[in-house]
A and B are shown apart, each in its own frame.
Chain A
Amino acid sequence: MITSIYGAIESGLIYAIMALGVYISFRLLDFPDLTVDGSFVTGGAVTSVMIVNGTDPFTATIAGAIAGFFAGCITGLLHTKGNINPLLAGILMMIALYSINLRIMGQPNIPLLNEHTLFTTLNNWWEALNLEAIFMAPFHWLGIADFAPRSFYALMSLLVLIIIVKKLMDFFLRTEAGTTLRATGDNQKMVRSFSANTSLYIIVGMGVSNMLVAFSGAMVVQHSGFADINLGVGMIIIGLASVIIGEVLFGKDKIVRMTLAVILGAIVYRIIYSMALRIDFLEASDMKLITALIVVVALVFPHWLGQTNAKNQYKKSKAKAASG
């Protein structure tokens, strides 16, 4: 139970990078982007092929992220220059990437178990610095060593990584260019009237979004020890679920707060996921259904809530008018 929660937090931190990417396209650019299902695998594919061929894992991970950037730019181009509806542009790119990913990988599955990955490197550093003992110490003092994770290295390094990603993203979104990018999803006509090339912002924004998604994919394959062509199926829905859960539970107006909410949303989603897997009659394959249900509930519920509130208020005001 405890270990599964630590595991959930670990994968939550990795998938949070993907969720931040989805947040850029879905919320900031108002572009429901299905490229994600493909670009997530593209990141993993490029990275795993390079690792298998002996490239050092840092370079391989960065290359994976860059591949995702280009995939996203193409989706943006299809929409802005080709005038293709956003949803369709994403689907086209997703389908195209399926073939491309197979080409990159050369086979539907690449094992990485005995390879030198980012995580093995981090683990080496971790052991060299002997940090494990420092983190374990409080657990031993309190006599709750059984509740500690088997190792802190993945958790801590991922935490540091996600904080760096979040800080960079917060910074970018508050620059002049980042502010304009956010406004592009809010009111394109206005942004154009202030001399900004909205097409360019959409293309680059989609690129950055998918870069984060591919980066997350590159981390996932190294964390789980294999790349698979079907890794990305339903990824966009997981991203949406994370974004929406985050907004509902932790969301606030400020952008700094929103990126934090999305990260926490991704972790909460993973925890729900691991809990659901522990229910006996549910199988791992049911998770897509459960994810879809989570998104439906999260989308529909606030809407209903709004309506009932409005109705109640109407009734109240009517009752007041009748009595007064």
Chain B
Amino acid sequence: MLSLNEIHKTFYPNTPDERLALVDVNQKLEAGDFVTIIGSNGAGKSTLLNTLAGSIIPDEGEVSIDGRDVTRLPEQKRAAYIGRVFQDPMAGTAPGMTIEENMVISLGRTKRRSLFRGVSKQLRERFREHLATLEIGLEDRLNTKVGLLSGGERQALSLLMATFTEPKILLLDEHTAALDPSKQELILRLTRELVEKHSLTTVMVTHQMEQAIEFGNRLWMMDEGKIIFEANDDEKDELTVPDLLQNFENIRGKRMASDRALLSK
């Protein structure tokens, strides 16, 4: 489904700021896998996600989706396979446009955009049905400008827009980190529901260990650009936060650096 072969990426090579962002990443995801990625700041989580999305092109190695080499495919072309939700709730929607217009744009992910009317009656019905599943009343506000929605509502809409066209891969980049706790819960619930409904292959980056353990069937722990620890299926089910911290210490010979990662809620 998705494979990463010997991916390397160095930022600012041959300068004093040189940083190894990704070192020899080798992974494969099967259809329907849900992997959570955990690690401290600068561990390479976001770089890995951006490499998948195509906003970063690796120095070496190969990314392939469904057997097709997409390593050099630009971001907007690769987006035909990929749904994405960003950390910033403002990033995934166009604020000056209405909810239905935003959804029309998200429909274009998988097909060519035509010179036909964007929002048709049928589409509006379809949008309304999908929005209703969010259970936050957006289905009655199709003509509201997205800029007027709260952060939580915008993120829920982003999540819906990224998933309802059933991408091959869903990328979630700490998509709850900028929200307050009650909104976080809402978005996590929706994530679970939508991923199950469309049985999406998902990659979720998170700072919260509990989230990483609770969600998905696989877990990768990253540090200094490497995947230093992984747990799959049964192994992962038995994992606890102290286990993870212990593992990190055993492998790296140091304590996990980030306070944010330790403070799992």
A interface residue numbers (CB < 8 A to B): 171-172, 174-180, 182-183, 186-187, 189-198, 253
Contact = CB atoms under 8 A, between A and B. Distances in A.
A176 B114 contact: yes
Contact of B95 (A172, A186, A189, A195): A186
A26 to B, nearest CB: 14
Interface of B: 53, 75-77, 79-80, 84, 86, 90-97, 101-102, 104-110, 113-119, 145, 161
Nearest to B115: A175
A68 B75 CA distance: 31
Contacts of A174: 117-119
Contacts of B108: 176, 180, 194-196
Given A174-B117, A175-B116, A182-B101, 11 more contacts: A174-B118, A174-B119, A176-B118, A179-B101, A179-B104, A182-B96, A182-B97, A187-B91, A191-B94, A192-B75, A192-B76
A177 B94 contact: no
Contacts of B105: 179-180, 183, 190-191, 194, 196
A36 to B, nearest CB: 22
A141 B94 CA distance: 54
Contacts of A191: 94, 105
A291 to B, nearest CB: 27
Nearest to B82: A193
Contacts of A171: 117
A183 B84 contact: no
Contacts of A183: 94, 97, 101-102, 105
Contacts of B53: 193
B118 A178 contact: yes
Given A174-B117, A179-B104, A191-B105, A186 B96 contact: yes
A175 B118 CA distance: 4
Contact of B80 (A177, A195, A253): A195
A253 B92 contact: no
Interface SS of chain A: helix
A194 B93 contact: no
Nearest to B75: A192
A130 B106 CA distance: 53
Most buried by B among A187, A189, A196, A197: A187
Contacts of A175: 113-118
A197 B77 CA distance: 8
A187 B117 contact: no
Closest 9 CB pairs of A and B: A195-B79, A186-B94, A183-B94, A176-B113, A179-B118, A187-B94, A195-B109, A186-B96, A177-B113
B76 A186 contact: no
A192 B76 CA distance: 5
B93 A176 contact: no
B91 A189 contact: yes
Nearest to B116: A175
A195 B76 contact: yes
B84 A193 contact: yes
A197 B145 contact: no
B118 A194 contact: no
7 contacts: A175-B113, A175-B115, A177-B114, A177-B115, A180-B105, A191-B105, A195-B110
B113 A180 contact: yes
A194 B109 contact: yes
B94 A192 contact: no
A192 B79 contact: yes
Contacts of B115: 172, 175-178
Contacts of B109: 194-195
Contacts of B92: 190, 193
Contacts of B101: 179, 182-183
A194 B117 CA distance: 18
B79 A193 contact: yes
Contacts of A197: 76
A192 B102 CA distance: 13
A253 B145 CA distance: 9
A228 to B, nearest CB: 37
Contact of B76 (A178, A182, A198): A198
A175 B114 CA distance: 7
Contacts of B91: 187, 189-190
Nearest to A172: B115
